[in-house]
């Protein structure tokens, strides 16, 4: 029985990446008819569609799995072929990882910088909320993801990294304006807050768990930047939940104060990555796990 022809998957990847059959054909230096034929052969082999033909075209679930496989094969080839030919690696190896903004703002870059310095690598870091990073792993868009999810997806491992403790903070000016009567249901309902995006349920969890305050009853700004959270809190615009690790100096200098010193939320983080890694991917995994376990609360 004939196996997968990687030219078929290459055609699928080109169509998805370029956004059309015409541009995909141009990118592969073949005719549009040829690229259509390759996709038809792939779908005939699979006995199911690999592409949803809309604008822009997007892969089906099985198409996403094939693209993930192709990404892995290309990365392995780019490392193995120069080694077999006894040649130096000419092009940088490109890998993509998904992370939450708070990890990126605190510990992730120091964790992977040794690999970035020692290896010829092109690192693509995509940022999403903790609940969405694993979706990028499932779709094959990234080779690793930082997530709160403990259970690994098929073919992957999930290694515990440590935890991030979130504290609720504001400037003293903000506290004097909104919380002079204490932090309670009534005062929280009047004070502006900040969340990462519409998918961020951290603040909602905090308000509901400790004060039974519905999130939709408060003023809630959305800013997709962990660093901007700190600036907004320092400026007295809003209060927010920020990783303690990120604002240790601001707390020590009293530029920011904890609104509820005895209450905080904790997220346990896991590194999701392919099983049976080798070469560069193994180095990235070892760097992330080793650094996190040394620097994050366990």
Among the listed residues 195, 191, 167, the one whose alpha carbon sits nearest the alpha carbon of residue 181: 191
Domains of the chain: 6-68 (1.10.10.10), 91-161+267-295 (3.40.190.10), 164-266 (3.40.190.10)
Among the listed residues 166, 167, 169, 108, the one whose alpha carbon sits nearest the alpha carbon of residue 133: 108
For 250, the 3-state DSSP assignment is helix
What's residue 70's pLDDT? 81
Q: How much of the chain is helix, strand and coil, in % rounded to 5?
A: 50, 20, 30
109-122 residue pLDDT tens: 999 999 999 988 88
172-195 residue pLDDT tens: 999 999 999 999 988 988 899 988
Please, which pLDDT band fits residue 1 given cuts at 50, 70 and 90? Answer: very low
242: Cα within 13 Å, side-chain hemisphere: 33
For 34, the 3-state DSSP assignment is helix
């Amino acid at each position: 029985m004939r196996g997968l022809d990687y030219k078929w998957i290459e055609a699928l990847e080109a169509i998805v990446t370029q956004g059309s059959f015409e541009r995909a054909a141009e990118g592969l230096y073949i005719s549009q008819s040829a690229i259509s034929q390759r996709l038809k052969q792939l779908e005939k082999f699979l006995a199911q569609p690999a592409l949803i033909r809309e604008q822009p075209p997007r892969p089906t679930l099985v198409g996403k799995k094939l693209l993930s496989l192709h990404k892995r094969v290309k990365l392995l080839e780019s490392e193995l072929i120069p080694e077999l030919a006894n040649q130096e690696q000419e092009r940088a190896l490109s890998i993509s990882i998904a992370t939450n903004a708070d990890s990126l703002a605190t510990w992730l870059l120091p964790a992977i910088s040794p690999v970035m310095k020692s290896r010829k690598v092109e690192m693509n870091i995509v940022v999403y909320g903790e609940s969405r990073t694993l979706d990028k792993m499932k779709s094959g868009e990234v080779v690793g993801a930082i997530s709160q999810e403990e259970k690994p997806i098929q073919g992957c491992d999930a290694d515990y990294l440590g935890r991030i403790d979130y504290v609720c903070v504001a400037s003293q000016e903000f506290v004097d304006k909104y919380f002079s009567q204490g932090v309670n249901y009534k005062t929280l309902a009047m004070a502006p807050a900040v969340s990462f995006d519409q998918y961020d349920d951290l603040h909602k969890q905090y308000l509901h768990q400790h004060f039974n305050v519905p999130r939709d009853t408060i003023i809630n700004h959305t800013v997709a930047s962990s660093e901007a959270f700190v600036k907004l809190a320092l400026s007295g615009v809003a209060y927010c939940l920020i990783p303690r690790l990120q604002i240790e100096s601001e707390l020590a200098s009293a530029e920011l104060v904890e609104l509820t010193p005895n209450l905080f939320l904790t997220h346990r983080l896991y590194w999701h990555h392919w099983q049976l890694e080798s070469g560069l991917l193994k180095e990235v995994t070892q760097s992330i796990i080793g650094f996190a376990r040394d620097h994050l609360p366990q």
